[in-house]
Structure 1
Amino acid sequence: MGRRRRRRAGGTVAVAAALGAALLAGCAGGAGSPEAPGGEESSVSQDPPGEPSAGSGEEMTTTPSESPSAGPDDGAWQDVSFGNGTFSVPPSWEIDIVGEGDAETPRPVHGRGFCPDDPSLVTALALVTWTDETTDAHEAVAAEAERAAQHFYPGRSPRLTLDEVDDGGEWATVFAGVAMRPSDDPCDAPEAMLIVRGVPYPDGSGTFLFLVLGELGLPGSPPEDDLVRIASSLRT
């Protein structure tokens, strides 16, 4: 077990979407409560992959890898592995690789190229991260949703609406809607959907976090159900 590393990935990402009442009703408890990972074989008890929490002051951004991968558009979802954990994304998503060497981490993204003025922008992403500020997963997921909204949309006056945190099992999960100040930029979405899941590290050093973000109302926006399914697919 090594010291957790804080690192920066370069690039730009645009993320936003809406969170509807029907979606919340459909997903209540849908993510399940995976058994809390533990022991030396668990990815969350070792150096965690991904970026630090949005509250760390580091940039949470992305650029295309040299060879982003995308599965065949045959309906089969792609498994994305990090450490000893896995989640799944739709076949249309590209899987970028951020970081270098032992710090390489998969970063699935969706909708790249929707914005003619900046082809690097995407309409959705999923990432793994962590915080060392608390071991209370309920507190960690709510705080991370707040921080992520402010971090991704600092100039859009984001207004966050949090659903009740579901922490009936080892994992805590929260769904959030983010409304932004209107923009004349056709590449800016008016609303965002954010799902955060978290589980404490067995050694008491913090909380592992998984974020799924997506934009609605733009060309290439992902279906809301896909974002929910991605968040629900996390297993360790």
Structure 2
Amino acid sequence: MKTLAIIGGSGLTHLRNLTVRERRVMRTPYGEPSAPMVYGLVGGHEVIFLPRHGHGHTIPPHSVNYQANMWALKECGVSDVIAVNAVGAINTALAPGTLVLPDQIIDYTYGRAHTFFGSHPEPVTHIDFTHPYCEALREVLRDGASRAGLALAPRGTYAATQGPRFETAAEIRKLERDGADIVGMTGMPEAALARELGLCYASLSVVANYAAGKVEGEIDLRTIERHLESGTTKARMLLEHAIPRLYGA
């Protein structure tokens, strides 16, 4: 039986269409998750919602306890995870407000607890990460976009950077040479930890701005907030149509 979790990022600190039934505080061997697990119903289907940055959006990307978050979701019986990520566009064809369904990721983060393996004496364990996102869940999201009548970029490479600062123009040029289409600060180690736990994980990325150097001037936070608002409205619509599909409706 499938149980879906939605991890909300910047711009999606709560689900307006979620009928809340319960909030559950979790403890894990890796500390506390970002917030209590919110149990509720979307269109009659049970969903667990977790705001990645805490309910008050107070946890910066490099300080998120990704291990605790993913472990807690697994303990709650979650099988599938849709992660919403705010990103900047390196590929200028992806205008602010665009929804992107990345199919690849490059990890540029450092100093984050990035694996569940190695903390106890045990044989060395390697996971296959050739395709970092769950294709079955990506298909559900593509179908949800189609049902909602929303445009969705069906693929792209996500560059995960450390944050919390934005990148320099030179760094963005490097990421572009590396093949990245979008850049964000929360994609890793979340995706890899989900794979280690056997969770079906996909990212729904919301383009909030053009990356540094892609347009004239500096990155404006008020403009980002405006694009995030419109982009997350689309993301909510997509989720409303995708969730029944995941549960076979």
Question: What is the TM-score normalised by the length of structure 2?
Answer: 0.28
Structure with the bigger percentage of helix: 2
Name the larger-Rg structure: 2
TM-score w.r.t. the length of structure 1 is 0.29
